[in-house]
Amino acid sequence: MNNNNVIFRVFPGGTLHGVARVPGDKSISHRSIMLGSIAEGVTHITGFLEAEDCLSTMNAFRAMGVQIEGPEQGVVTVHGVGMHGLKAPNEPLYLGNSGTSMRLLSGLLAGQSFDAVLTGDSSLSRRPMKRVTDPLRQMGAVIKTSPNGTAPIRIRGSGPLEAIHYDMPIASAQVKSCLLLAGLYADGETGVTEPAPTRDHTERMLAGFGYPVKQVGNRITVCPGGKLVAADIDVPSDISSAAFFMVGAAIAENADLTLLHVGVNPTRTGVIDILRLMGANIEILNEQMVGGEPVADLRIRSSRLKGVQIPENLVPLAIDEFPVLFVAAACAVGETRLSGAAELRVKESDRIQVMADGLQSLGVHAIATPDGMVIQPRPIKGGKVDSHGDHRIAMSFAIASLRASGPIYINDCANVNTSFPTFVNLAKGLGLNIMVCTE
């Protein structure tokens, strides 16, 4: 699926039935490599997501002198070099399509003693980076971007940074994590205040590696002078990947699906809350804590969904899942409205406009707004849609076929490999009528 002209052909009449485990959490996989690399000792990772985005992070740290074994069936071994053991890379660090890699690495590298350049593919090179480079400059980082604030990012080794307390204008786990990682190399207490809760994997994992993190209300702080001690990490299944099958089982006829060992961190469960508001039949089973992260099995059965006004407080907790939630809304009874989600316009694609265009081409009344969408359900027809190289768009329209009256052809699907390389095979095994072809 590395061909740019990969097409999904998805036919109606499928359902989702059975028991499955989706691949490991992408956010946690990224952070396990980053923190394992600057820890002291050997970190053992199981459940690692073997997708292009996470491999980009892994290759970047290999280029900075870290010995990493694997991945082999989700098992990775990282030989940490300590807080100050990274070495200057011999060439620019290419991060593919991974915004997480670029933004978090910007913070981690801003306090190193060597120079580095971060680059990415054409999609990543259009994504906004000022949200991390501006506060990093406030910390004294010597950092340059393109004239419009995008990659490549050039970071000059400048030694210790200046601690700041930063009030984030927009809720963003990537910005928060970037500044906390930079704060490990600052000269005092670095604090980040977030306007709404965002995923807290960085804070949890820093604590798991023995590095003190303090949180009071919505302010998270770190101080320099600590160290990270190697740990064993069991990466749970990614709720963002599970979301496609959660929606699919809710909208399909005669569906009964159980997804195993899914991460249910409360900063990530907005998709469950929203689907339940819409009337989805979702059971949370076998809840437990694994390595500081809550996990559970999720059972989802066919449901009669209803349209809702999506609460804005849930938006940051489901920001990556909205493409497939738009599909759920298209299959509901009554109007669904989303606002407060302007962040969707600066993802791998403009997810508001691209989803609205695709839904309209399939007969759904979907109106894009500056910060969201209004969806009035209509029967989903077959047709052709363009994913614009966005993995979540491609998989969302594949799920829409479960309620379509004709085949759906989805163009430009190669980037599904960035987060979910086993999507097609897993979907087929559970009952989705999907084929892959190339032009």
3 state SS of 294: strand
| CB 403, CB 252: distance < 8 Å | yes
Packing angle, helices 173-183 and 201-208, rounded to 10: 30
DSSP collapsed to 3 states, 66-104: CEEEEEECCEEEEEEECCCCCCCCCCCEECCCCHHHHHH
Q: Calculate the dihedral angle through the C-alpha atoms of 307, 309, 314, 315, rounding to the nearest 10 degrees.
A: 100
| 376-380: long-range contacts, CB 8 A cutoff, minimum separation 24 | 376/307, 376/335, 377/307, 377/329, 377/330, 377/331, 377/332, 377/333, 377/334, 377/335, 378/330, 379/405, 380/330, 380/331, 380/404, 380/405
Q: What is the CA radius of gyration of the chain?
A: 21
What whole-number distance in Å separates Cα of residue 103 and Cα of residue 60?
13
H or E element in which residue 36 lies: helix 26-37
| CB 163, CB 190: distance < 8 Å | yes
3 state SS of 8: strand
Tokens of 268: 């990530």
| Nearest one of 61, 69, 107, 67 to 88, comparing CA atoms | 61
What whole-number distance in Å separates Cα of residue 337 and Cα of residue 339?
7
Task: Using the structure block, give the residue that is written with the tokens 């940051």.
Answer: 316
| CB 81, CB 112: distance < 8 Å | no
What whole-number distance in Å separates Cα of residue 34 and Cα of residue 112?
14
Active-site residue, 320 included? yes
Catalytic residue chosen out of the listed positions 238, 297, 320, 386: 320
Q: Calculate the dihedral angle through the C-alpha atoms of 229, 234, 239, 241, rounding to the nearest 10 degrees.
A: 110
Polymer length of the chain = 439
Q: Identify the burial level of 322 via C-beta atoms within 10 angstroms of its C-beta, where 0-12 means exposed, 13-18 middle and 19 or more buried.
A: buried
Residue positions annotated with a catalytic role: 320
